Amino acid sequence: MPAPVRVPSSAGRGGPLRPGLPRLRTVLTVAGTALVVQRALRRRIRRSPLWPLPALEQPISGRGREAARRSAQANGLDGAQPAPGQPAALRLRVAERTEVADGVVALRLEGERLPVWEPGAHLDLVLPSGAVRQYSLCGEPADAVRADGASYTLAVRLIEDGRGGSREAHEVLRAGMTVEVRGPRNRFPLEDCHAYLFVAGGIGITPILPMVRQAEAEGVPWRLVYAGRSRASMPFLAEVEKLAGGGAGGAGGERLTVVAEDVDGRPDLAAALADAPPHAAVYCCGPEPLMDAVADLLPDGPAGLTLHTERFAPTATGPAAAGGADGASDDVAFAVELRRTGRTVTVPAGTSVLRAIREQALPDLAYSCEEGFCGTCQQRVLAGEVDHRDALLTDAERDDSLLICVSRAKRGSGLVLDL
């Protein structure tokens, strides 16, 4: 949708207001609203083709109960419910493993009638060792429901000094293997807007790419700044250049800026923000310094820019800064009742709620980062006052949930969890 047109008024500058302008404003406002509503309806119908009919708690899309059961068995579910606090799991086959850039492999995971997803979503990938890592979905959402082979696609960059998850994905996962995934979940959704500025750094292109595809398909103006150490290290660069219309140096130069730091230095983020339309949505994913720079420069840009980010690591204002990591000096012991399990565990000072529950009651409880930014261990709070120490949950989510890897009960309180 084209950016809103501002018609300057001559009132207050010595000239009379021309009679056609109020009507023009009304027409533009109504037309703009109609386009936004039309896009929202298209997206809603794409998620649920039978909308506005009421959704089934367990959609079977016209298949009989037996067909639905066979589909669940094919995905390794066998009709069983997930463990308390654990997202539903799927067992998928690694159909294809492709090196898409230096140090980056793309994995296409096949199953049957997979849950649908939207740009910004990610999967929890359970590696053969049992480690859980989050990876953004970077394929086409329509691939999840293809009759000739439903699939998800994700990409993994090898982190040499990481915790070992990316190395395991690179060195162990091969075509033909079966892996467990949980999700998809989306904490980075693409919101409706009249224009977008996307900023991606390295592997941060993975959640951004489906957003660019969707903006392009819906005719919404967009620009992308894509930075990386070198062109060879930047995954999906050829597709991005094709989407932009001929490459960064050709017709796509107006919409795409590719910055290979070994040749071009660092991206000019101030210029990119200055060129954004007023009230545009800015989506940024990549290394922490890149996202911090965009956040710092945002107030100097055009009026009304909104920033949306997805982080790979906790912020400096997260649990460590709050004194929320295990071993914090002001921690005290408290009790946590697991309402559905019927047990109460004691959380000692210096021990996380997650660790206490896994050691004393639920050893298979899902978790990943243990630093308060991935969301895997989010649990619903039924009673008690929470000392939130994460860098992820919104204020609304904090009203009735917490991340048990870092957050605790406030001093003098206990907690009751829906576990």
Tell whether 66 is covered by a domain.
no
Q: 358 and 376 in contact (C-beta within 8 Å)?
A: no
Tell whether 61 is covered by a domain.
no
Tell whether 371 is covered by a domain.
yes
Q: 119 and 111 in contact (C-beta within 8 Å)?
A: no
Domain edge (last residue) among 151, 169, 186? 186
Whether 79 shows a pLDDT value over 90: the answer reads no
Both structure tokens of 399:
């009203």
Q: Which of 226, 221, 218 is nearest to 285 (CA)?
A: 226
Buried b (16+ CB within 10 A) or exposed e, 25-42: eeeeeeebeebeeebeee
Whether 347 shows a pLDDT value over 90: the answer reads yes
The larger pLDDT score, comparing residue 212 to residue 72, is at 212
Tell whether 45 is covered by a domain.
yes
Tell whether 353 is covered by a domain.
yes
Whether 404 shows a pLDDT value over 90: the answer reads yes
**DSSP helix/strand/coil, 255:** coil
* The predicted structure's pLDDT at residue 400: 93
The rounded distance, in Å, linking the Cα atoms of 285 and 287 is: 7
Q: 186 and 179 in contact (C-beta within 8 Å)?
A: no
The arithmetic mean of pLDDT across residues 1-23, rounded, is: 42
How does residue 77 score in pLDDT terms, banded at 50, 70 and 90? very low
CA distances from 345 to 349, 368, 402 (A): 13, 21, 17
Residues 216 and 279 in one domain: yes
Radius of gyration of the chain (CA): 24
The arithmetic mean of pLDDT across residues 86-109, rounded, is: 92
| pLDDT per position as a tens digit, 213-255 | 999 999 999 999 999 999 999 999 999 999 998 543 334 568 9
Q: How many domains does the chain have?
A: 4
CA distances from 393 to 48, 112, 188, 314 (A): 27, 32, 12, 12
Residues 182 and 93 in one domain: yes
Residues 96 and 181 in one domain: yes
- pTM of the shown model: 0.70
**DSSP helix/strand/coil, 133:** strand
Domain region containing 269: 212-310
CATH code of the domain covering residue 254: 3.40.50.80
* The predicted structure's pLDDT at residue 250: 39
* The predicted structure's pLDDT at residue 177: 97
Residues 340 and 275 in one domain: no
* The predicted structure's pLDDT at residue 254: 87
Q: At what angle do helices 237-244 and 205-217 cross, to 10 degrees?
A: 20
**Residues near 242 by Cβ (< 8 Å), separated by ≥ 6?**
none
